[in-house]
Each structure stands twice: as C-alpha cells, then as structure tokens.
Amino acid sequence: MKAKKNVSRRQLQKHLDELIAIAKNLTPDVETAVQIPGVEGQHAWLEIYVPDELEEQISDLVSERVLDIFMETGCDIGAIVYEKSQLQDETAETSAV
C-alpha cells in the first residue's frame, strides 16, 4: 500500500470548500457532510446533497475536480453527490425507528 501524501488541514479545507462551491454555483440548495479523515486512508470524505434534477450534472463536475485535485496535489478526497430526496428518505426512516 502506498503511503498517502501529507496535506495540511488548511489545504484540505480549501479543497473541500472548492468542491462545495462547485455545487453552490449551480444551486444554493446544498447540504453537506464531511468526515476527516475519510474512509480507507482518504484525507477526507465529502457527501453533497443537491436537488434531484441537478444531481447528475453536479456529480460530474465534482468528480472531475476531485480527480484534478488528486493528480495536482496528491490530496485524496472521496466525494459523492446525492439527490436531496435521498437525504429526506434517510431522515424519515431514522425517525420511524
């Protein structure tokens, strides 16, 4: 297993803010969840919830930028974009338990 490159907390936050801004440039209706460190050795894990009709477009843009960040800096951020209805469904299921 290759050792991950050290990334400063400031640099990591800058990349996370940039990824969130990609979504917010298309819609102000964005919710996020961040986990630092990420899963499986990643520097961070980012979940972005957006309106259903924009999920695919935002997902493509975020995925492209995640790859660029990794190639340019070695910063390994896992990011996934969900339809906001999935967040509401999960909340409803949690409340019903």
Q: pLDDT tens for residues 45-76?
A: 999 999 999 999 999 999 999 999 999 999 99
- Which among 2-6, 21-25, 83-87 has the top mean pLDDT? 21-25
pLDDT at 93: 58
CA torsion through residues 58, 32, 73, 41, sign: negative
Q: Crossing angle, helix 55-73 and helix 9-26, to 10 degrees?
A: 150
Instruction: Give the up-direction half-sphere exposure of residue 46: CA atoms within 13 A in the CB hemisphere.
Output: 29
Single out the residue of 11, 48, 19 nearest to residue 33, CA to CA.
48
Provide, rounded to the nearest whole percent, the portion of the chain with pLDDT above 70: 86
Single out the residue of 32, 6, 37, 29 nearest to residue 18, CA to CA.
32
